[in-house]
Amino acid sequence: MIPVEGVEDQTIAVLGLGRSGKATAAALAAGGARVIAWDDGQDTREAAAAEGLDLVDLTRPAAWEGVAALIVSPGIPHLYPRPHPAIALAYELGVPVDNDIGLFFRSYATNEWGEFERAPRVIAVTGSNGKSTTTALIHHILTECGRPSQMGGNIGRGVLSLEPATDGEVVVLELSSYQTELARALTPDVAVFTNLSPDHLDRHGGPGGYFAAKRRLFAEGGPDRAVIGVDEIEGRFIANQLSMGPRDDRVIRVSSGQKLDKGAWTVFARKGFLSEYRKGRQAASIDLREIAGLPGAHNHQNACAAYAACRAVGLAPRDIEAAFHSFKGLPHRSQLVAEIGGVRFVNDSKATNVDAAAKALDAFPRIRWIAGGLGKDGGIAALAPHLAQVVKAYLYGHSARDFALELGATPHEVVETLDEAVARAAAEAEAGETVLLAPAAASFDQYPNFEKRGEHFVRLVEALR
C-alpha cells in the first residue's frame, strides 16, 4: 500500500467503494486521515461497513462539516451527463474533488528515494484502444529484462494498493479517460498515447471533451518523454504541441502503417517489421510476424508504443525483442482460445466499439464473425470497409437486428444468444477459418462486463473439444 501524503488529521470523503475506492480508503487511513465513505449500492455499503468503514450519506449537506476533500471512484460521473449529487454538493461547498490517480502522483515519491542508486520511474499509458495490451506488454518486457516493475491503474491493482517504490523500479499504469480527466496531479516520467476513436462520448460531453480528458496526461504534468501514436490527427496534434522542433527527441512518434524516418526519434511498423529511427537513421528492426501474442496491425501498433516506452527507460532493442516472443497476450484481446479441426477460435470481447472491432477484423483471414450486444451510437456502418474477410456474421443480443440492417451483402444470421452464435459458427466453419468474437458493442444487455462475456465464449469453445 502507498500511504497518502498530506492528509494527516484531515477528514477525507470517499465516494464509491469498489476495488479502487476501498484501496483509496485504506491508503488515506494509512496516511493519518479520518475517512468517511459512501456508495449508492446497499450491498456494497453493507460489505464496507462489515470491514469497518465509517459510512456517511454524502448526498446530504450535513455530512460535509469539516470535510477537506472528496475522492471519487472512476465510474461515477462528475461532469457529464450530470454530476453525482455528492459531487455537485462538493462543488457547491468548494470542497476539492480528486481521485486515486491524483493521490498516487502526489504520494509515490518519498524521502527514502534519496537512498536509491536509481530513481523509480512511472510510465502512464492512455488512449482509446490497445492501452491494456500496451501496459501489460511494457510490464512484461521490464520484468523479463530484470527491471523491478509493478502494474496498476485501470488494469491489475488499484494504484494506491501498489507497494512503495524500490530502487530502480518502474511502475506501469493504464489510465482511462475517466481517471485522467479528474486527477489533480498527473506527473509520469513517460506518458504514452496509443490512439483515439469515439468512445464514452456521453460521459465527456462529446468527442472534444473525450480528447481533452486524454490530453491532460500530457498537458498537466509535462512528462520527460512522450510516446505518441500519430496515426490519427489527435495524436499528431499532441506531438506537435509537445515538440520544440524536428530535433526534439523528448517526443517519440509511433505508427502502424506509416514510415516515420524523419524526426529525432520514431518507431513504426510496416509489413510486419518494427523499425526504430534516430535522427533519420535506422537504429533497430524487429520481425513481428511470428510473435503469437501480438497478431495484427493493431497489436503491432501496441508493440511500437511499448518498445518506445521501454527504450525511453534505457532498455536495449535485443532485450525488448526477446521479451516480445514470450508475451502471451491478454485475455479478451485477440486471445487465441483454441484451434479445433483447423479452425481458430479468437476471443476479442474487449472490442466494445467499432474501431476496436475493425482492428480485430483486419487481423485475420476468412472470418466467421460473432458480433452483438448493446450497440453504441452510430451502429456498425463504419465497419463496411473491413468486412471483405468476413465469410459470415453471426449477430446476437439487443442490437443484432439493427446490426443486420447495416451489413449489406455480407452473409449473416441473427440469433438470440452467444451460445447459439458460437454453435452456428462452429458448425459451419471450415479449416483455415477463424471464429472471431469481436462484438463492436457493450456487453450490458446480457453480461455485467466484457470480461464475463469473453469468459463465457471461452467456456463455449472449450466445450467444443
Residue 414 confidence (pLDDT) above 80: yes
In a domain, 127, yes or no: yes
> Does one domain contain both 352 and 314?
no
In a domain, 330, yes or no: no
> Does one domain contain both 350 and 302?
no
Task: Give the pLDDT score at 179.
Answer: 96
Least confident of 36-40, 96-100, 260-264, 460-464: 260-264
Among 305, 325, 345, the domain boundary falls at 325
> Does one domain contain both 152 and 36?
no
In a domain, 5, yes or no: no
Least confident of 30-39, 178-187, 351-360, 409-418: 351-360
Q: Is 240 an active-site residue?
A: no
- Indicate which residue of 200, 392, 398, 452 is catalytic: 200
Task: Give the pLDDT score at 41.
Answer: 95
- Domain of 425, CATH number, reads 3.90.190.20
Q: Is 200 an active-site residue?
A: yes
Tens digit of each residue's pLDDT (9 = 90 or more) over 74-92:
989 999 999 999 999 999 9
In a domain, 269, yes or no: yes
In a domain, 213, yes or no: yes
Mean pLDDT of the chain: 95
Residue 199 confidence (pLDDT) above 80: no
> Does one domain contain both 319 and 340?
no
- Indicate which residue of 84, 139, 154, 359 is catalytic: 154
In a domain, 40, yes or no: yes
Place of cell 449477430: 395
Task: Give the pLDDT score at 164.
Answer: 96
List, as residue ranges, the binding site for ATP.
Answer: 127-133
Q: Is 154 an active-site residue?
A: yes
> Does one domain contain both 361 and 460?
yes
In a domain, 1, yes or no: no
- Domain of 288, CATH number, reads 3.40.1190.10
Place of cell 500511504: 3
Q: Please state, in angstroms and rounded to a whole number, the distance separating the CA atoms of residues 212 and 205.
A: 11
Q: Please state, in angstroms and rounded to a whole number, the distance separating the CA atoms of residues 225 and 350.
A: 29
Query: ∠ at Cα 14 (9, 16), nearest 5°?
Result: 165
Among 325, 343, 369, the domain boundary falls at 325
In a domain, 384, yes or no: yes
> Does one domain contain both 178 and 44?
no
Local confidence band at 121 (pLDDT 50, 70, 90 cut-offs): very high
Tens digit of each residue's pLDDT (9 = 90 or more) over 230-249:
999 999 999 999 999 989 99
Q: Please state, in angstroms and rounded to a whole number, the distance separating the CA atoms of residues 152 and 129.
A: 17
> Does one domain contain both 175 and 298?
yes
- Indicate which residue of 131, 139, 359, 376 is catalytic: 131
Residue 409 confidence (pLDDT) above 90: yes
Domain that holds residue 316: 105-325
> Does one domain contain both 309 and 197?
yes
Of 139, 126, 444, give the one whose Cα is nearest residue 306: 139
Residue 292 confidence (pLDDT) above 90: no
Local confidence band at 94 (pLDDT 50, 70, 90 cut-offs): very high
- Mean pLDDT, range 339-365, rounded to an integer: 93
Sign of the torsion formed by the C-alpha atoms of 342, 343, 347 and 351? positive
Task: Give the pLDDT score at 355.
Answer: 87
- Domain of 82, CATH number, reads 3.40.50.720
- As for how many domains the chain has, the answer is 3
CA distances from 358 to 27, 236, 297, 369, 381 (A): 40, 21, 11, 11, 11
> Does one domain contain both 318 and 416?
no
Task: Give the pLDDT score at 365.
Answer: 92
Among 64, 98, 132, the domain boundary falls at 98
The burial class, CB within 10 Å (0-12 / 13-18 / 19+), for 14 is: buried
